[in-house]
Amino acid sequence: MKTYLPKVNLDQRKWHVIDADGAILGRLAVQVADILRGKNKPVYTAHLDAGDFVVVINADKVRLTGKKETDKYFMSYSGWKGGEKFTSVAQVRAKDAGRLITHAVRGMVPKNRLGRVLMTKLKVYKGGEHPHSAQQPATLAPSK
Domains annotated for the chain, with CATH where assigned, are 14-64+97-140 (3.90.1180.10)
The secondary element (H helix, E strand) that includes residue 68 is: helix 68-71
For the CA atoms of 109, 115, 120, 121, the dihedral, rounded to the nearest 10 degrees, stands at -50
72-93, pLDDT tens digit by residue?
999 999 999 999 999 999 999 9
> If pLDDT is split at 50, 70 and 90, which confidence band does 143 have?
confident
Provide the percentage of residues in the chain whose pLDDT is more than 90: 83
Asked if pLDDT for residue 38 goes beyond 90, the answer is yes
7-26, pLDDT tens digit by residue?
877 778 999 999 999 999 99
Residue 60 CA to residue 140 CA, distance in Å, equals 18
Asked if pLDDT for residue 103 goes beyond 90, the answer is yes
Q: What is the pLDDT of residue 10?
A: 73
Predicted TM-score (pTM) of this structure: 0.91
Average of per-residue pLDDT values in the chain: 93
108-132, pLDDT tens digit by residue?
999 999 999 999 999 999 999 999 9
CA dist 101 → 13, 22, 42, 88, 98 (Å): 22, 13, 26, 14, 6
Q: What is the pLDDT of residue 6?
A: 82
The secondary element (H helix, E strand) that includes residue 53 is: strand 53-57
Secondary structure of 83-140 in the HEC alphabet?
CEEEEEHHHHHHHCCHHHHHHHHHCCCCCCHHHHHHHCCEEECCCCCCCCHHHCCEEE
Q: What is the pLDDT of residue 9?
A: 78
- The set of residues, in sequence order, having a beta carbon less than 8 Å from that of 34 and lying 6+ positions away, is 40
> If pLDDT is split at 50, 70 and 90, which confidence band does 49 have?
very high
Q: What is the pLDDT of residue 36?
A: 97
Asked if pLDDT for residue 137 goes beyond 80, the answer is yes
- The set of residues, in sequence order, having a beta carbon less than 8 Å from that of 132 and lying 6+ positions away, is 15, 17, 53, 55, 123
